[in-house]
Amino acid sequence: MPTDPVIEVAGVTKTFAGVRALDDVDFTLNRGEIHALVGENGAGKSTLIKVLTGIHSPDSGQIRRTGRISTIYQEVNLVPLMSVAANLFLGREPRNRLGLIDRARRDAEAAELLRGYGITADVRSPLGTLAVGEQQMVALARAVEADADVVIMDEPTSSLEPREVETLLEVVRKLHEAGIAIIYVSHRMDELYRICDTVTVLRDGRSVHSGPLRELPRIELVSLMLGRSVNEIRKHGTTAFGEDHHADTQPVLEALDLTSKPRINGVNVAIRPGEVVGLAGLLGSGRTETAKAIIGALPLDHGTVLVAGKPVPHNVRAATRAGISMLAEDRKTEGIIPNLSVRENIVLAALPRLGRFGVISRAKQDRIVDTFVRRLRIKVSSPEQKVAELSGGNQQKVLLARWLCSEPRILLLDEPTRGIDVGAKAEVQALIDELAKEGLAVLLISSELDELLDGADRLVVLRDGEVAGELEGAQLSREHVLAAIAAEVMDDADSH
């Protein structure tokens, strides 16, 4: 490939509140190239895109851009109330002789143009009446038709149906033929290998690899993203079930065929009392969605959740009553009420059970709070201290206490140790172990492989919303998990 860079980034560093989001990153995009940009959550992809498009200015380093950049974001950034045609042409509408917008021509051109993207909906109807996939396609058409030299796509297929993905990839190919350079961000290995020429892997704000994609085996790409040497990874099959040391007990939770397209597709999970089941997989593989589906917070196409063999209606109230509790990933927005005290935060979930006729016995509250503060070793000056004043780890324990005091049988933990310091992390991990020993069934979601390997009795590996493998006993090793995530490798190994 001739090297004719349209974007050249050298030694770019960007710091947010003392955290290095980008650390001395080099990045080159050549004309007519499809460049994959990959990395786990927090690796710095979004920051790099924002630096490229000029939304952020770097602390140091150089950026050289030639030509116009168009960006398509993961969420559709269009105006739902305006018509499809108005969205498509906003800012460059066809004019009549008087300089006024020629609506008839605009609508006709829009309809014509969108047909090429497989959209046949009425272009005069509000954009918001279209399906999300179609909206994404309109956003793509808008970006492409703006005469861009570079198109950046940030996970464009994450909300698309398989058929729509095909159309999108077709469009990408057409752009490629037209000589437009593309930066393609995705976690979907299949897509990357189908369309991308080159790849840059970011990890912890650093560019750890850059080069032709086809020469890089999938398993090596995954290991680069997760930060392990490829030499450690043995290539062999992983899906054989090992002996089941909980075989004597019936699962307390069985989730069958959970499907909510396009996020998750036919996921099965079973957890026995006293067992910690880990959910592994890359970002966007459907981990959080699976947990949300179990607790009834994600609308399902089909699928059933059984608690102790009985089906649970698909809503959060019913799931909670059946004994399922979920500790959400983002404790700031989905759980903690910072200005209430530790006591108030803990008893919140238990209020309906504690209160009689709406009156809650204060003595009873204190007793429960006391128990949990001691049991979970929450470090507070008094139960009346505001939660906002606690450290991240202790906040997490308060949330945990809240769910525990409603006496759940099944606990879903989504990234329970994210954002808390190492010491607190170890304590929370120990606590999870303890709770399981007491008979709780735990589903543990974590991006940290070590945490899953140490904490879980069994691992369910997800890939693109489907179960890619279940690992147990001797199979609980980094190599097996990576192999399962990069599943295609097994086919390679088989065919050689």
Partner 1 sequence: MTTLTAATRTKVLQRQGAAVALILMVTVSWLVFPRFGSLDNLRDLALQGSFLAVIALGMTFVIITGGIDLSVGSLYALGGVLAAWGSQYGFLAALTLPLAVCGAIGLINGLLIARTNMAPFIVTLASLLFARGLLLAITDEGATTYQIAPDSAFVELGRGTVFGFGYPIFIAAALCALGGVVLNRTNFGQNVFATGGAEQSAVLMGVPVARTKIGVYTASGTLAGLAGALTAAYLQSGVTVIGVGTELDAISVVVIGGTLLTGGMGTVLGTVIGVGLIKVIQNVINQIGTLDSNYQSVVSGVFLLIVVVLQRMLRR
Binding site for partner 1 (CB under 8 A): 71, 73, 76-82, 86-87, 90-91, 93, 100-101, 103, 125-126, 128-130, 132, 142
Indicate the helix (H) or strand (E) that contains 301.
Answer: none
Alpha helices, H only, 229-383: 287-295, 316-321, 331-334, 342-347, 351-354, 362-375
Q: Which is nearer to partner 1, 81 or 178 (CB)?
A: 81
- Rounded-to-integer distance, Cα 16 and Cα 46, Å: 13
Q: Which is nearer to partner 1, 152 or 490 (CB)?
A: 152
Q: Which residue has the tokens 């008979």?
A: 439
CB 69 → partner 1: shortest distance, Å?
12
Q: Which is nearer to partner 1, 86 or 484 (CB)?
A: 86
- Rounded-to-integer distance, Cα 60 and Cα 63, Å: 10
Alpha helices, H only, 53-151: 84-89, 103-115, 132-145
Residue type, 190: D
Q: Does residue 126 have a cis peptide bond before it, meaning omega lies within 30 degrees of 0?
A: no
CB 47 → partner 1: shortest distance, Å?
17
CB 294 → partner 1: shortest distance, Å?
25
CB 48 → partner 1: shortest distance, Å?
17
CB 70 → partner 1: shortest distance, Å?
10
Q: Which is nearer to partner 1, 139 or 449 (CB)?
A: 139
CB 131 → partner 1: shortest distance, Å?
8
- Rounded-to-integer distance, Cα 261 and Cα 465, Å: 9
Q: Which is nearer to partner 1, 11 or 80 (CB)?
A: 80
CB contact at 8 A, 183 and 37: yes
Closest Cα partner for 277 from 432, 438, 464, 466? 432
Q: Which is nearer to partner 1, 128 or 392 (CB)?
A: 128
Residue type, 142: R
Indicate the helix (H) or strand (E) that contains 120.
Answer: none
Q: Which is nearer to partner 1, 126 or 355 (CB)?
A: 126
DSSP letter (8 states) at residue 475: G
CB 245 → partner 1: shortest distance, Å?
47
